[in-house]
Amino acid sequence: MDVNAAVAAVAAIAGACTGVIAMLAFRWSERDQARPTRSSLHTEAGLPPGVDTVLSVLRSSAVVLDESDSVVKASSAAYALGLVRGGKLAVEPMLHMARDTRRDGEIRQVELDLPRRGTGRGEALAVSARVAPLGSRLVLLLVEDLTEARRIEAVRRDFVANVSHELKTPTGALSLLSEAVMDASDDPEAVTRFAGRMQIEATRLTNLVQELIDLSRVQNDDPLEDAEPVRVEELVAEAIDRSRHAASTKQITMAAGGAADLRVWGNRGQLAAALGNLVENAVNYSPARTRVGIAARRVVAPGGDLIEIAVTDQGIGISEKDRERVFERFYRVDPARSRATGGTGLGLAIVKHVAASHGGEVTMWSSEGQGSTFTLRLPEAGAGRDRTPTGPDEDAQRRFHHDVNDLDQSTEIPAPEVLP
């Protein structure tokens, strides 16, 4: 009996000890889980109340540094720009600014050009960095990406400079020619010659002003507000008729095919101007006694069928270095040829904007010595506008180029051919 009582007492003591140990272990585990980590100390206890929320909604890239230059808080945009790596601020000039601000409390701002992360092409990333003290020991760095703003400013500056130059040339010529007419008032032959030159320069000036107006309109207006189904066959016929006289003068044959029963959705005037510019360029930049082809086809594509309208010439082609720039405003592959034909350098820029505003695109294939093909790719009438067209590959464009060149005369639309 005494033995049983002793055993029971020992068991009770052992159970009590086990319970105490389990309770202590549980309390220790709770305390360990509640203990703040280094990151939570930085983001919760380190930042003043509400700062974390404010930084999360800022459009600028935000970085908060502590007294040891460690990153306490950084936005996802800061990581995307490559400002923070391995928990440290990776841009040395910004780090020096942060240290100076921590020392004297002054707000500092600077604009920097940083290497673009991951491109390997030496492209610069323009940023504006502003550093300010945040509390007694933290420093806040806000970085704004200015790359796109600078690009737009450069485009605007170049546009103004080019417009000034382009307007100055014909107006200056008109001024000089008018003086020549006055001086040659007693020479009817000279007056006639100078008057003819004045007409040419006046026409060039009129065309330039009109194309500037057209470019401004296609950039600012939504062409689909007054959109309608437009027959491709009618657009092709109108574009051919627009260049009929110039093609006849150079004995260039124009042939068209494949446009029957195809329709696109959009602003008829803008689409006609865009296709007319492509055909006009093909005629102006083609040698005499060659061929310009215009063909259309339906292409099955994700999100809705596309209508491709290709304009092909048999000219000298466009070099590889010029292909990426032909759609820039005022850019000319051959400035001397442009002056001779009265080109303004805005035609392809207008085509590009018209295609984009209609939910399509314009692509180009060219090979030196074989000619060029410019292709308007537009959603078919009835297809959705909210789509991103995928351009054809190089082989597809090359095949289309040869197909258009091989158009059978029997497939031509009414009055497509211009003969001397």
Q: What is the DSSP string of 340-374?
A: HHT--S-HHHHHHHHHHHTT-EEEEEEETTTEEEE
Co-location of 243 and 355 in the same domain: yes
Co-location of 397 and 249 in the same domain: yes
Residues in the chain: 420
Co-location of 195 and 231 in the same domain: no
Domain ends where: 119, 145, 171? 145
Domain assignment present for residue 371? The answer is: yes
CATH number at residue 177: 1.10.287.130
What pLDDT sits at residue 410?
A: 37
Domain assignment present for residue 23? The answer is: no
Phi then psi for residue 226, to 5 deg, are -120, 40
Domain assignment present for residue 11? The answer is: no
**DSSP letter, residue 225:** G
Co-location of 214 and 77 in the same domain: no
Domain assignment present for residue 26? The answer is: no
What pLDDT sits at residue 11?
A: 57
**Where on the phi/psi map is residue 369: left (φ > 0), alpha (ψ -120 to 50), or beta?**
left
Co-location of 109 and 177 in the same domain: no
Q: How many domains does the chain have?
A: 3
CATH number at residue 393: 3.30.565.10
pLDDT in tens, the chain (420 residues): 455 555 455 555 655 555 555 455 445 444 544 443 333 334 444 667 767 777 776 778 889 998 888 888 888 888 888 888 888 888 888 999 989 998 888 999 988 888 776 544 456 788 889 999 987 788 899 998 888 888 878 777 777 777 777 778 788 888 888 888 888 888 889 899 989 989 888 888 887 787 777 777 766 666 667 778 999 999 999 999 999 988 999 999 988 888 788 999 888 888 998 999 999 989 988 899 999 999 999 988 877 889 999 999 988 888 877 777 788 777 766 654 555 555 567 778 888 888 988 889 999 998 887 889 999 999 998 654 444 444 555 555 555 555 555 554 433 333 333 322
Domain ends where: 87, 114, 145? 145
Co-location of 215 and 228 in the same domain: no
What pLDDT sits at residue 219?
A: 67
Co-location of 174 and 107 in the same domain: no
What pLDDT sits at residue 297?
A: 92
Sign of CA pseudo-dihedral 87, 89, 90, 95: negative
Which residues have C-beta within 8 Å of that of residue 171, sequence separation ≥ 6?
A: 205
Instruction: Report d(CA 304, CA 389) in Å as an integer.
Output: 10
What pLDDT sits at residue 309?
A: 94
3-class DSSP assignment, residue 77 = helix
Co-location of 265 and 393 in the same domain: yes
Domain assignment present for residue 157? The answer is: yes
Angle at 128 (CA atoms; ends 122, 134), nearest 5 degrees: 130
- Model-level pTM? 0.55
What pLDDT sits at residue 13?
A: 62
Co-location of 171 and 258 in the same domain: no
Q: Which two tokens stand for residue 267?
A: 């602003």
Domain assignment present for residue 287? The answer is: yes
Domain ends where: 145, 164, 191? 145
What pLDDT sits at residue 248?
A: 92
Q: The domain containing residue 205 runs over which residues?
A: 148-220
Contact 349, 328 (CB under 8 A): yes
Which residues have C-beta within 8 Å of that of residue 50, sequence separation ≥ 6?
A: none
Co-location of 51 and 128 in the same domain: yes
Domain assignment present for residue 206? The answer is: yes
Co-location of 256 and 197 in the same domain: no
Q: What is the DSSP string of 321-339?
A: HHHTTTTSTT--S-HHHHH
What pLDDT sits at residue 43?
A: 43
What pLDDT sits at residue 311?
A: 94
Domain assignment present for residue 390? The answer is: yes
Co-location of 176 and 255 in the same domain: no
